[in-house]
């Protein structure tokens, strides 16, 4: 379309732009030019979800039952019906408070993210009413004429109508890392390919352009991708599944025991009302009310810790998902590498030298090559002079590597390289004044400049040239060896070829350098150099050397990759880059280990065609996006499971999604390799890193999507579960470590919490069966669950790892459950029973010392609870009023409570480890545990002595010695568990 | 063996199974053949793998779980494994029960059989009345014998059994004590203690000797009040505890006169202290009889009778039987 047709189509004028009123009209029609954020669940729905999720429903049932029984009792005019009313209210409060808490925690973590993604409002330069105006980009409408210049973000999808050297960075959209030039010519049918459209959210790197807005907001290309991302369903996180499993388990136990005892008590001729009250008690005893809150706190503590290590977790549950990750699909650029070209190798004097590629090079002494050769002097001069890149002014205090450079990637690399070794490049350039220059272009593939020399005695001009090595060599007739020019014979050319091939084979970008001192007689001082006619020699130059550059891997990455490997995590590289570069980086960071070979490598070694190689022999594979396109899912699965080291190169975003799905189909086989499984079973847990908008579907699809904090686009961050603040792969590994640790620690927390459930449940059962006075009250139970036990169970989240958790394989989602049979059985049937026994000893002691011997207590319930009997005889012949008995009963509650608390201290200590002895782990390493223990005892003291006079709470100031009755049992728990751990260490694998 | 089971069992997919069996199933070799002959098993497994679990499959799985003939396991364990598990729990719980018994034994050893370690919860004493039928409302019509006969029976029953107040028994077993002072019996704690006589005749009009109906037939009911027994408790600190009654809420004049027996409604000091049911075998709790000679008829009169004396508490809100008792009298014609 021509400009005038465009004007017509969009009802605008190129010179005058839209009128303000017309713009307002369109704005009203189309809505603001911004992406609608992914649909958020209404806050109230989120809140209500917390209210009914998990155990809450059970507790609601308990509360409703309490109210019903209150209603019945009240109607019957019983004496103290209000107990049940209070209980119902307390239960409801518990549900609401834990709900609010969980909601608050979630909101808090969402807020971190929200603040993170909030951006400064973008401005756009628009022509309206024939005037240039700065407007917020949100107010752009279709038909607006906008001007953009280098450095701007494109404010909408724009059809260019004029452009001067405009280049845009489309990487966030298409993954192409090179800036693309844009002009007003129509070059392709596909809007994504044509050169006259610039896309919303991409950046204009250089040049200027004017264009008509053709799409705004969600209708832009990027808006459509974003909506695609939100279309990809969110998978349930493994920890959510685990917790669900756990809730089902405990709720199942609670309901079945409750119903069982309801039936028993009814058939034992208890009144239905009493039976209902028992049912409530059993439910309350069985449900670990505080646990879900504890889990949330533990997760958010870990999330905080991870944030300190540069992993920002958006979704709390993702903390653990990272720990169960079995495959990481990582980007190359920026994640594995430093995302900056750096000189890696040099070739001069017939020798390859390597250069320092670490992140923080500072002095030239760190460079490991010989700087004394005169060839190097010549080479360094060319590197310095034949370079258009410059530092932005005002950065003298920054380390060289951090300074911002104006210029393309390779020139930047060369500039920094020179600056590090030679010092102030700018002054060298000033001393060697440039007299002529031919910039790099794609046809001649070289860059040339002519300089005066800094030697005042030398009046010759120096011609320096750099470019594609083969083109440079073509123009040379001599080569510099040790500072002397020697004729370039075939032998030397051969040496050049070998070096070139070798450097190229390492995936590096190679540049050739040559120079020529122009004879003084032919080119006097005043010689008019003309770059168009090239009135100076450009052949028969002297070849000086090669420099090769690469985007080097981050120094921490190889270590991190090997950690992943020992942790049983498969690292797959997925990149849009060239296979050779990808492979080179993969090799250097260890994604492809030194000893393994690809099919191609084997073919080369055995000198046979690729087709004849047994594919199973190759452990590594480099798969090209082109090959991937023609592959069936079956073949992809084949590759994913038969090769342990895989690199996908030249992949498109769509293919990334396919790869992620492929990975999710894999499951770790027994011992050897991986095997595909059907969709019905859960496959591998896949973590995916990405930064571009185009990655967001893959990020969403992945079990855990990791976006880059620095390079990442907002869409990617939105789709991701986690944001790496430093874009560093190594941070993922620390995240994995934390994730695994939290899984282990949650296991401990749950084991700790479940144990006392039995000690809370047994009293009810024995009360029903043996008809003894009630050993512990429902409200007292709530005080254990939500009072004394909370801080200790959170403290377990601070526990250090028992052994090197990074030497373990990722947990098998089907086998390594959060709560498994052993854990439940051990907690319930062993430690829990010991606790109950210990608590009952205290209970009987309290009663016996007050005059009720255990034998008297059996079967006493009906009379004991009879309000009218106020001369109840004890074992010694004394007579008790009802209230005196109740007071004693509450003393019993408190004593029971205290014994459980004391034994929970032992439980807490034993739960510090699962296999190691406590003494190996160190009793004092986790200080928070001690905070937990002291808080536990402190809360118990406050409840007993501080709140002992509030009747509704049923706490009584307890005689001091009763605190110690359960101590032998606490010690028993400890010793028993140490013995168990000893057996486990001695005979691993059994029971 | 169990570890081996576990390893085999945990492999979710079919192809790996034979390998695993080879590695750890020495005894199961013949069953491998079975498996080969039976392609259905494999099919079922693949079906399960496909995730299209039908109820039949589920039931089948359940059945295998309950009894797996192939591996001879019930609920996922072999007989041997179950045996070991049960043995372990048997031993474990036996030990635990032993420890419990031991602790209880040690605890009971520390207790004295005669006096409880603590008596702080049971004192000051509570109060109860007789007759006691269902609640603390005594309502009857003079003219209808059936309405007051149960109360009378209750009184007779109480006086003849629980207190053994019949004179012969009292005279035979108990001694006459010196009135007006505590009957303190020193000596060994385990020695049998003497009990003081509390003859039924002391209750005079309310003794049920002369008036077999305790005044109920005349509309002047007797109600016995007793103070709860507390070992070693000396009520009143030297001054006998006395009883009085008044209308709890309402018109004072509803209750015009009450007679108290014996001794004007006091608990004589000589009946205290109590030494516990083992040594103080025939101890008879002293009683105070309240003879409501003139109470307003045909209306529900709430009456509160309280103890008075040093150390007696009768005004605690939460315990309405501590040092006092509240009951209703309703006497109809």
Hey, which residues does A573 pair with through a beta bridge? A330, A647
pLDDT above 60 for B13 = no
Chain A to chain B, count of Cβ pairs less than 8 Å apart?
Answer: 146
pTM (whole model) above 0.90:
no
In sequence order, the β-bridge partners of residue A194 are none
Does the pLDDT at position A223 exceed 80?
no
Q: What are the Cα distances from residue A58, in Å, to A48, A126, A272, A828, A830?
A: 15, 60, 20, 20, 26
Q: Which helix or strand (DSSP H or E) is residue A473 part of?
A: helix A469-474
Rounded percentage of chain A residues whose pLDDT exceeds 90? 8
Instruction: State residue A363's pLDDT score.
Output: 59
> CA A359, A362, A368, A371: dihedral to nearest 10 degrees?
140
Q: Outline where chain B has alpha helix (H).
A: 2-10, 16-24, 29-37, 39-50, 55-66, 79-109, 145-157, 167-173
Closest C-alpha to A686, from A225, A337, A330:
A330
Beta-carbon contacts of residue A554 (< 8 Å; ≥ 6 apart): A336, A337, A338, A359, A728, A729, A730
State mean pLDDT over A621-643.
80
Is residue A266 a contact partner of residue A275, using CB atoms and an 8 Å limit? Answer: yes
Provide CB contacts within 8 A for B299, sequence distance 6+.
Answer: B254, B330
Q: Report d(CA A641, CA A631) in Å as an integer.
A: 15
Rounded Cα–Cα distance for residues A511 and A75 (Å) = 95
Q: Is B115 on the interface with A (CB under 8 A)?
A: yes
Instruction: Write out the catalytic residue numbers of A.
Output: 331
The three-class DSSP label of residue A729 is: helix
Q: How confident is the model at residue B20 (pLDDT cuts 50, 70, 90)?
A: very low
Residue A909, H or E segment: helix A882-910
Quote the minimal CA–CA distance from B51 to chain A in Å.
5
A232 vs A216: which has the higher pLDDT:
A216
Query: Are A720 and A793 within 8 A, CB to CB?
Result: no
Q: Tell me which residues of chain B, numbers 45 to 74, contact chain A at a CB-CB cutoff of 8 Å.
A: 49-52
Q: How far apart are CA A463 and CA A703, in angstroms?
A: 57
Q: Which residues in chain B touch residue A683, judged by CB atoms under 8 angstroms apart? A: none
3-state helix, strand, coil in chain B (%, to 5): 40, 20, 40
- Structure tokens belonging to residue A107: 């909101």
- Paired residues of A667 in beta bridges: A675
pLDDT bin (cut points 50, 70, 90) of residue A714 is: low
Mutation target to probe the B interface, by most B beta carbons within 10 A, among A83, A866, A879, A960 is A879
* Residue A313: per-residue pLDDT: 80
Assigned token pair, B163:
């207190």
Q: Out of A913-927, B27-41, B211-225, B246-260, pick the least confident.
A: B27-41
- Which carries the bigger pLDDT value, residue A504 or residue A611? A504
Is B228 within 8 Å of A887 when comparing Cβ atoms? no
Mean per-residue pLDDT, A810-836: 82
Model confidence at B95: pLDDT above 90:
yes
A901 class by beta-carbon count within 10 Å (0-12 exposed, 13-18 middle, 19+ buried): buried
pLDDT band at B97 (very low <50, low <70, confident <90, very high): very high
Query: Could you tell me which residues come within 8 angstroms of residue A480 by beta carbon, excluding any fewer than 6 positions away?
Result: A348, A374, A375, A378, A486, A542, A543, A544, A545
- Judged on CB neighbours under 10 Å (0-12, 13-18, 19+), A502 is middle
Chain A from 860 to 919: CB within 8 A of any B CB: 868, 870-871, 874-884, 887-888, 891
- By C-alpha distance, which of B14, B301, B287 is closest to B163? B287
A957: which chain B residues are within 8 Å (Cβ-Cβ)?
none
User: In percent, how much of chain A has pLDDT > 70?
Assistant: 88
Contact of B106 with chain A, judged by CB distance below 8 Å, is answered with no
**Mean pLDDT of the residues in chain B:** 77
Calculate mean pLDDT across residues A167-184: 67
Residue of B nearest to A837 (CA): B100
What is the DSSP code (8-state) at residue A521?
T
Partner B contacted by A670 (CB < 8 A) = yes
Residue A390: CB atoms within 10 Å:
15
What SS3 state is found at A919?
helix
Backbone angles phi, psi at B257, to 5 degrees: -150, 145
> Per residue in A853-882, pLDDT tens?
999 999 888 888 888 888 898 889 899 998
Q: How large is the average pLDDT for residues A745-769?
A: 88
Residues of B in contact with A848 (CB under 8 A): 107-108, 111, 117
Averaged pLDDT for residues A636-640: 80
Give B-chain residues touching A879 at CB under 8 angstroms: 122, 125-126, 128, 228-230
Instruction: Return residues 179-218 of B near A (CB < 8 Å).
Output: none
CB B235 within 8 Å of CB B268? no
Residue A358 pLDDT exceeds 80: no
Query: Is the distance from CB of A552 to CB of A344 less than 8 angstroms?
Result: yes
- Tell me the per-residue pLDDT of A667-711, one tens digit each, with 9 for 90 and over: 544 333 444 443 334 467 888 887 766 677 788 788 888 888 777
Backbone φ, ψ for residue A204 (5° rounding): -85, 120
Q: What residues in B contact A877, CB-CB < 8 Å?
A: 229, 231, 274, 276-277, 280, 283
So what's the pLDDT on residue A146?
83
DSSP B259-295: EEETTTTEE-GGG--B--TTTSTT----EEEEEEEEE
Give phi and psi for A554, each to the nearest 5.
-65, 145
The β-bridge relationship of strands A645-649 and A570-574 is: parallel
Residue A8, C-beta contacts closer than 8 angstroms, at least 6 positions apart:
none
Range with the poorest average pLDDT among A133-142, A357-366, A701-710:
A357-366
β-strands A123-128, A131-136 pairing = antiparallel
- Compute how many other C-beta atoms are within 10 angstroms of the C-beta atom of residue A275: 20
Nearest Cβ partner for B277 among A849, A868, A876: A876
- Window 643-662 of A: residues touching B by CB (8 A cutoff) are none
Q: What is the ipTM of this complex?
A: 0.81
Sign of the C-alpha dihedral computed for residues A17, A20, A25 and A31 taken in this order: positive
Q: CA geometry: angle at A627 spanning A624 and A630, to 5°?
A: 150
pLDDT, mean of residues A809-830: 79
List the single residue in A with minimal CA-CA distance to B48.
A680
What are the tens digits of pLDDT across the range A523-538?
A: 877 778 887 777 888 8
Of residues A120 and A546, more confidence is placed in A546
Residue contact B122–A884, C-beta within 8 A: yes
Q: What is the pLDDT of residues A970-980, one digit of tens each?
A: 999 999 999 98
The confidence score (pLDDT) of residue A325 equals: 85
């Amino acid at each position: 379309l021509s400009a005038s047709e465009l004007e017509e189509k969009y009802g605008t004028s190129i010179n005058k732009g839209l009128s303000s009123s017309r713009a307002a009209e369109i704005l009203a029609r189309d809505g603001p030019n911004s992406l609608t954020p992914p649909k958020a669940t209404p806050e109230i729905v989120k809140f209500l979800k917390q209210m009914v999720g998990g155990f809450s429903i059970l507790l609601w049932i308990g509360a409703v039952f309490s109210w019903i029984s209150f209603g019945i009792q009240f109607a019957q005019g019983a004496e103290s019906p209000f107990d049940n009313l209070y209980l119902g209210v307390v239960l409801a409060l518990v549900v609401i408070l834990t709900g609010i808490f969980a909601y608050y925690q979630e909101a808090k973590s969402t807020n971190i993210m929200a603040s993170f993604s909030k951006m400064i409002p973008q401005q756009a330069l628009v022509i309206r009413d024939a005037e240039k105006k700065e407007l917020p980009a949100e107010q752009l409408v279709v038909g607006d004429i906008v001007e953009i210049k280098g450095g701007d973000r494109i404010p909408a999808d724009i059809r260019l109508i004029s452009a001067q050297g405009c280049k845009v960075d489309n990487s966030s959209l298409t993954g192409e890392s090179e800036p693309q030039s844009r002009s007003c010519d129509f070059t392709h049918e596909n809007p994504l390919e044509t050169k006259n459209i610039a896309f919303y959210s991409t950046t204009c790197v250089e040049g200027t352009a004017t264009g008509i807005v053709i799409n705004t907001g969600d209708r832009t290309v990027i808006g459509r991708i974003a909506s695609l991302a939100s279309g990809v369903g969110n998978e349930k996180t493994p920890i959510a599944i685990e917790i669900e499993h756990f809730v089902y388990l405990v709720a199942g136990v609670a309901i079945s025991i409750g119903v069982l005892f309801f039936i028993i008590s009814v058939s034992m001729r208890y009144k239905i009302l009493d039976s209902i009250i028992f049912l409530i008690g059993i439910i309350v005893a069985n449900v670990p009310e505080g646990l879900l809150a504890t889990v949330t706190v533990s997760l958010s503590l870990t999330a905080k810790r991870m944030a300190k290590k540069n992993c920002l977790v958006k979704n709390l549950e993702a903390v653990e998902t990272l720990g169960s990750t079995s495959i990481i699909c990582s980007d190359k650029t920026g994640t594995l590498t430093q995302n900056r070209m750096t000189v890696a190798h040099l070739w001069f004097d017939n020798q390859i030298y390597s250069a320092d590629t670490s992140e923080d090079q500072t002095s030239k002494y760190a460079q490991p090559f010989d700087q004394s050769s005169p060839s190097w002097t010549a080479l360094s001069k060319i590197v310095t002079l034949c370079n258009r890149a410059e530092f932005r002014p005002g950065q003298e205090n920054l380390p060289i590597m951090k300074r911002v450079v104006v210029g393309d990637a390779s020139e930047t690399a060369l500039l920094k390289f020179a600056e590090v070794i030679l010092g102030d490049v700018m002054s060298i350039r000033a001393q060697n004044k440039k007299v002529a220059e031919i910039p790099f272009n794609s046809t001649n593939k070289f860059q040339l400049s002519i300089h005066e020399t800094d030697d005042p005695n030398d009046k010759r001009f120096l011609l320096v040239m750099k470019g594609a090595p083969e083109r440079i060599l073509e123009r040379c007739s001599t080569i510099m060896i040790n500072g002397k020019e020697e004729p370039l014979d075939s032998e030397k050319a051969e040496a050049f070829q070998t070096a070139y091939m070798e450097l190229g084979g390492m995936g590096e970008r190679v540049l050739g350098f040559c120079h020529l001192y122009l004879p003084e007689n032919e080119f006097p001082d005043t010689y008019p150099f003309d770059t168009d006619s090239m009135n100076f020699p450009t052949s028969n130059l002297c070849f000086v050397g090669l420099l090769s550059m690469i985007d080097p891997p981050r120094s921490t990455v190889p270590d991190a990759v090997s950690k992943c490997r020992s942790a049983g995590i498969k690292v797959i590289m997925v990149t849009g880059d060239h296979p050779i570069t990808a492979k080179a980086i993969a090799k250097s960071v260890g994604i492809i280990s030194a000893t393994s070979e690809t099919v191609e490598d084997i073919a080369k070694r055995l000198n046979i065609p690729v087709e004849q190689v047994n594919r199973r022999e190759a452990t590594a594979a480099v798969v090209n996006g082109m090959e991937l396109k023609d592959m069936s899912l079956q073949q992809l699965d084949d590759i994913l499971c038969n090769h342990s080291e895989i690199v996908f190169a030249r992949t498109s975003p769509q293919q990334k999604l396919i790869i992620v799905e492929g990975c999710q189909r894999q499951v770790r086989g027994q011992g050897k390799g991986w095997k595909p499984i059907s969709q019905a079973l859960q496959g591998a847990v896949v973590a995916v890193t990405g930064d571009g908008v185009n990655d967001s579907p893959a990020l969403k699809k992945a079990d855990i999507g990791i976006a880059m904090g620095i390079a990442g686009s907002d869409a990617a961050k939105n789709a991701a579960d986690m944001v790496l603040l430093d874009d560093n792969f190594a941070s993922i590994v620390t995240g994995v470590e934390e994730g695994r640790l939290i899984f282990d620690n949650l296991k401990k927390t749950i084991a700790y919490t479940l144990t006392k459930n039995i000690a809370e449940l047994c009293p009810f059962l024995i009360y029903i069966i043996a008809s003894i006075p009630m050993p512990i009250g429902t409200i007292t139970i709530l005080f254990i669950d939500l009072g004394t036990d909370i801080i200790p169970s959170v403290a377990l989240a601070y526990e250090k790892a028992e052994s090197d958790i990074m030497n373990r394989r990722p947990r098998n989602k089907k086998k390594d459950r959060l709560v498994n049979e052993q854990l439940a059985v051990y907690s319930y049937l062993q430690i829990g029973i010991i606790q109950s026994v210990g608590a009952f000893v205290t209970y009987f002691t309290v009663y016996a010392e007050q005059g009720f011997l255990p034998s008297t207590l059996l079967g006493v319930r009906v009379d004991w609870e009879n309000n009218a009997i106020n001369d109840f005889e004890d074992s010694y012949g004394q007579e008790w009023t009802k209230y005196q008995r109740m007071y004693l009963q509450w003393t019993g509650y408190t004593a029971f409570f205290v014994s459980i608390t004391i034994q929970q201290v032992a439980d807490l200590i034993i739960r510090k480890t699962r296999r190691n002895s406590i003494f190996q782990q160190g009793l004092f390493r986790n200080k928070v545990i001690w905070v937990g223990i002291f808080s536990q005892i402190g809360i118990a003291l406050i409840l007993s002595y501080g709140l002992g006079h509030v009747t509704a709470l049923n706490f009584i100031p307890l005689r001091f010695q009763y605190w110690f009755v359960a101590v032998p049992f606490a010690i028993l728990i400890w010793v028993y568990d140490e013995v168990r751990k000893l057996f486990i260490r001695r005979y691993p694998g059994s029971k | 063996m169990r570890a081996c089971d576990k390893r085999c069992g945990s492999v979710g997919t079919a192809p790996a199974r034979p390998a695993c069996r080879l590695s750890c199933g020495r005894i199961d070799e013949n069953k491998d053949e079975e498996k080969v002959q039976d392609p259905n098993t494999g099919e079922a497994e693949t079906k399960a793998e496909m995730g299209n679990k039908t109820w039949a499959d589920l039931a089948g799985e359940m059945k295998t779980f309950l009894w797996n003939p192939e591996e001879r396991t019930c609920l996922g364990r072999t007989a041997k494994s179950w045996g070991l598990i049960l043995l372990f729990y048997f031993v474990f719980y036996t030990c635990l029960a032993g420890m419990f018994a031991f602790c209880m034994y040690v605890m009971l050893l520390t207790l004295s059989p005669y006096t409880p370690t603590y008596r702080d919860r049971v004192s000051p004493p509570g109060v109860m009345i007789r007759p006691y039928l269902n609640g603390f409302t005594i309502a009857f019509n003079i003219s209808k014998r059936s309405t007051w006969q149960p109360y009378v029976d209750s009184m007779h029953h109480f006086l003849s059994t629980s207190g053994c107040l019949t004179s012969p028994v009292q005279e035979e077993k108990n001694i006459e004590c010196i009135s007006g002072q505590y009957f303190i019996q020193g000596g060994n704690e385990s020695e049998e203690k003497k009990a003081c006589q509390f003859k039924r005749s002391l209750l005079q009009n309310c003794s049920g000797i002369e008036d077999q109906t305790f005044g109920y037939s005349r509309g002047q009911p007797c109600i016995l009040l007793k103070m709860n027994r507390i070992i070693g408790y000396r009520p009143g600190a030297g001054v006998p505890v006395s009883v009085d009654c008044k209308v709890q809420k309402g018109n004072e004049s509803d209750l015009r006169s009450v007679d108290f027996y014996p001794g004007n409604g006091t608990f004589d000091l000589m009946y205290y202290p109590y030494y516990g049911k083992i040594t103080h075998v025939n101890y008879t709790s002293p009683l105070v009889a309240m003879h409501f000679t003139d109470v307003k008829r045909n209306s529900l009169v709430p009456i509160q009778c309280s103890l008075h004396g040093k150390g007696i508490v009768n005004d605690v809100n939460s315990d309405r039987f501590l040092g006092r008792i509240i009951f209703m009298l309703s006497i109809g014609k």
